[in-house]
Structure 1
Amino acid sequence: MGAGGMKPKGRLRLRSRVVAMIVTALTVAGLVGTVAGVGQADARINGTAGVKEFWIDACGMPTNGAFGNKSMAPGKVKVRAWQRPGNTRTVIMLDGMRAQYDFSGWEINTNIQELVKRGVNVVEPIGGPASFYTNWNAPSNFNGQQRRYMWECVINNTLPAALKSGRYGKYGTKGGKFAIMGLSSGGNAALTLATKRRDLYYAAASLSGYNFLSAPGMHTMLRLAMLDVDPKPWNVDAMWGPPWDARWYDNDPSLRINQMHGMKIFIGSGNGLFGQYNALPNVFDDLFKGSTLEILAFTQAKAFEGLAALNGLPVMTYYANGTHAWGYWQDMVWNAYARGFFR
C-alpha cells in the first residue's frame, strides 16, 4: 500500500484518539531524549548447527558501502539462516534500530537460533540501522545516504522468494506462509509488513515495539532517537515524510488491526522496572535509556491490546518485569514458542 493508503476513520478514528490520549498521558517527558536498541550485551555468536549465509538482491537500496565501508557486496543484503530438514515452520527475525552489518543482534545476544532444533527454521536479514524495515521516501540527507532504503521490498519480496526457491535449503512453511517477529522498531515493522502481505505471513509478533506510531509526540521521539544512530544522524522526514503525511498512518500497526484478523498476533513488552537481566555494570543505560524506552513500549503495547479487543482481534500478550534489553526479548520468543505461536 503506497502513500495514499489507509487513513483512520469512523469508529476506529475515535478509538484511536482515545487510546492515543492514554499513551500520551502515560509517556514521561524523558522519553524524547532516549535512543532505541540499548541493552546489547557482549555475548557470543551462537554456534548453532545448520547455519547458512547467503546474499539476496537489495531492491536497489544502499548497503553500508554507501557510507564508505566496502565490506559488503554492493546491492546485496546478507542473510544468515538456521534450517534443518523436516522443519515445518520458518520465522523471519527483524533487528532493532541499531542493527549491525556483520551479524543480527538476535545472533549476537540470544539463543533463539536454537528454535531450529524445535521444528522452526530461523532467518535473520542483516543490516538496516534506523530503517524501520520500510521503503523510505528519499535518502537520508543528514548523513549522506546515496540511495533510499527499500527494506519493505527486501522483506516482503526478495527474501521470501529466496527462501521458497530452494537455492539455500528447504524452509518449511504453514500453507506457504512464514512467521515474522521483530524487536523495538523491528517489532512494529513486523506487524505492518505482515498485514501488507497476508499471502506471505500467518503470524506476526512485536517485542517492545512501537505499535501506535500516530500517537501524539511519536514523530518527535523518533526524530530525536534517529539522530543518534550510526552512521548518524538520520533524517526521519526522509522515511515517511512530515507527521501529517499519510504514510505515517499507513505504517501504524494500531491502524491496521482490522487487517490482522485470521493471523496469530503476539505482543510483548517489559514494564520498565529492573528485572533478572539488569546488572549493576549497565545501570546507566538500563535506567536512563532501557527503562524509559520500555515504559513507552509498554504503554503502546497496552494501547494496542485495548484497541485490538475493541475490534475483536485476539492477541497473545507477554509482559515482563524488565527493560529494553535482549534477555527479555529472548524470553518473549521462547514464551511465544511454548504457547503455540508457530503452530
Structure 2
Amino acid sequence: MREAKRKPWRGRRLTAVLIAVATTVGLIGTTIGTGEASAAVGKTYWTDSCGMPTNGAFGNKSMAPGKVKVRIWSKPGNRRTVIMLDGMRAEYGTSGWEQQTNIQRLADRGVNVVEPIGGPASFYTNWDAPSNFNGQQRTYKWGCVITRLATNLRKGTGGVPKLATKNGKFAIMGISSGGNAALTHAAQRRDLFYAAASLSGYNYLTAPGMRTMLRVAMLDVAPAPWNVDSMWGPPWSPRWPQNDPFMLINRMYGLKLYIGSGNGLFGKYNYPQNVGDDLFKGTPLEILALTQALAFEGGARLQGLNPMTYYANGTHAWGYWQDMVWNAHRRGFFN
C-alpha cells in the first residue's frame, strides 16, 4: 500500500497507535470471542441403515455399507437435543443444514444438533417398495432409521453418543418434505419426541390435488424420476392418512409445535443469480407450503392446540429456514 509522506515522529506515533489498537482488538477478540474459540465442532458418526440402500446406491460410493452418516454438534452441559431433517433434495455427502446455514451454532447455546445425511425424495418414511422409475435397488426405510437413531441417541448405543434429552425425549425439525416428516415422527412416537417443527413443510398431504403435486415434484429430484406410488401406495392406501400431519393432529396434544412458512414473495435471501430458479420453483413451492401451513394451523387450533407460527416474506430457500430456526430458539421452542 502506498504511504503518504509525513514527519518521522508522526509516522512512528501512528504506528504505535495502530499496534496498540490491534493488540487491544486481539485481546478483546480473545475475551469476547471465547464462545467461538470453544465452539462445538461437528463430528461424524455412522448408524444402522435398517437395510436401506446406502453403499453404492445410484452410483454413490461415499457411504459405509449398511450405515447412514450422521453429523453431530454437542457440548457438555447442553440440556436439549434436536434432530434436523433435510428436504427433498437431500444429498449423501453433507446435510443442507450444514452446507447452507449456521444453525449448528445452537450447540453453543445449549441445544445439541443432530443431522442425518441422505434420503433424497424419501420424506424420511418407510416406503412400500423401491422406486422403480429410477432403478432403486432396495426399499427406503427412513422411518426406521429416524426412530432407531433417536432411540440410540437416548442410550448412547448403535454407533452414536448419548445426548441430552428432556425427560428422555428430543426435538425434531425439518424443512420442506422433512418438515411434515418431523410432525409425523413426533405424533407417532410420543415416547421419543417432545417438540416438532415443520418449516415450509407439506402438512396436509391428503388434501385434494396434493398427491398429484408430489408426483410432479418427485419427477424432478435427482436421481430422477422417483415414483410416488412406491412410497405409500395408491391414493386409497391407508398409509397416506397415517403419514399426513393434518390427520394426526389428535395425536399431538402435549407436543410443542412450531409451524413456519414464507409467502412466496422475494425477500432478503433471493439473489440475482437465482432469480429463475426462485421464481419458477421457490415461489410456487412456498405458496403451496403456506397454504398447507395455514390449513394445519387452523385444524390444530380448532382441536385446541396452540402451535407457534412464523410467516414472513420469502421463497423455498435455506436462508429463510435458518431464520425460522433462530426465531424458534428465541421464543423458547427448545425449552
Does TM, scored on the shorter chain, surpass 0.5?
yes
CA shift for structure 1 position 163: 4.9
Corresponding residue of 2:56: 65
CA shift for structure 1 position 271: 0.3
Return the alpha-carbon distance in structure 1 between the equivalents of residues 161 and 214 of structure 2. Answer: 38
Percent of aligned pairs sharing the same letter: 73
Corresponding residue of 1:186: 178
Return the alpha-carbon distance in structure 1 between the equivalents of residues 229 and 39 of structure 2. Answer: 40
1:210 aligns with 2:202: yes
Amino acid at match of 2:264: G
Return the alpha-carbon distance in structure 2 between the equivalents of residues 299 and 116 of structure 1. Answer: 32
Return the alpha-carbon distance in structure 2 between the equivalents of residues 64 and 163 of structure 1. Answer: 26
Query: What does the per-residue CA deviation read over 1:228-265, in whole Å, with 9 as the maximum and x for residues that have no partner?
Result: 11111111000000111111110000010010100100
Amino acid at match of 2:194: Y
Return the alpha-carbon distance in structure 2 between the equivalents of residues 251 and 49 of structure 1. Answer: 34
1:222 aligns with 2:214: yes
CA shift for structure 1 position 63: 1.1
1:294 aligns with 2:282: no
Indicate if the aligned counterparts of 2:177 and 2:201 stay in contact, CA closer than 8 A.
Answer: yes
Return the alpha-carbon distance in structure 1 between the equivalents of residues 318 and 154 of structure 2. Answer: 27
Return the alpha-carbon distance in structure 2 between the equivalents of residues 68 and 232 of structure 1. Answer: 13
Query: Which segments of structure 1 move beyond 6 Å, counting only runs of 4 or more?
Result: none
Indicate if the aligned counterparts of 1:52 and 1:168 stay in contact, CA closer than 8 A.
Answer: no
Indicate if the aligned counterparts of 1:83 and 1:170 stay in contact, CA closer than 8 A.
Answer: no
Match of 1:118 among 75, 97, 109: 109
CA shift for structure 1 position 160: 2.9
CA shift for structure 1 position 171: 1.2
Amino acid at match of 1:55: W
Query: What does the per-residue CA deviation read over 1:130-151, in whole Å, with 9 as the maximum and x for residues that have no partner?
Result: 0000000001111111110000
Greater relative contact order structure (CA < 8 Å, 6+ sep) = 1
Indicate if the aligned counterparts of 2:199 and 2:321 stay in contact, CA closer than 8 A.
Answer: yes
Corresponding residue of 1:15: none
Return the alpha-carbon distance in structure 1 between the equivalents of residues 328 and 151 of structure 2. Answer: 22
Indicate if the aligned counterparts of 2:153 and 2:163 stay in contact, CA closer than 8 A.
Answer: no
Higher mean Cα deviation, 218-227 or 155-164? 155-164
Return the alpha-carbon distance in structure 2 between the equivalents of residues 260 and 209 of structure 1. Answer: 17
1:262 partner SS:
coil
1:146-161 paired onto structure 2 within 5 Å: 146-161=137-152
Larger Rg: 2
2:44 partner SS:
strand
Return the alpha-carbon distance in structure 2 between the equivalents of residues 236 and 164 of structure 1. Answer: 35
| TM-score (ref. length: structure 1) | 0.84
Return the alpha-carbon distance in structure 1 between the equivalents of residues 211 and 266 of structure 2. Answer: 27
Corresponding residue of 1:135: 126
Return the alpha-carbon distance in structure 2 between the equivalents of residues 57 and 147 of structure 1. Answer: 15
Match of 2:70 among 76, 79, 82: 79
2:56 partner SS:
helix
Query: What does the per-residue CA deviation read over 1:190-244, in whole Å, with 9 as the maximum and x for residues that have no partner?
Result: 0001111100000000000000000111111111111111111111000000111
Indicate if the aligned counterparts of 2:152 and 2:160 stay in contact, CA closer than 8 A.
Answer: no
| TM-score (ref. length: structure 2) | 0.86
Corresponding residue of 1:165: 156
Indicate if the aligned counterparts of 1:275 and 1:323 stay in contact, CA closer than 8 A.
Answer: yes
1:93 partner SS:
strand
1:1-343 paired onto structure 2 within 5 Å: 49-63=40-54, 65-165=56-156, 168-343=160-335
Return the alpha-carbon distance in structure 2 between the equivalents of residues 298 and 64 of structure 1. Answer: 36
Gaps of 5+ in 1: 1-46
Query: What does the per-residue CA deviation read over 1:43-86, in whole Å, with 9 as the maximum and x for residues that have no partner?
Result: xxxx9633110100000111151222222111110000000001
Indicate if the aligned counterparts of 1:209 and 1:301 stay in contact, CA closer than 8 A.
Answer: yes
CA shift for structure 1 position 337: 0.3
Higher mean Cα deviation, 87-96 or 151-160? 151-160
Indicate if the aligned counterparts of 1:130 and 1:234 stay in contact, CA closer than 8 A.
Answer: yes
Alignment RMSD (CA, Å): 1.3
Amino acid at match of 2:208: P
CA shift for structure 1 position 164: 2.5
Corresponding residue of 1:39: none
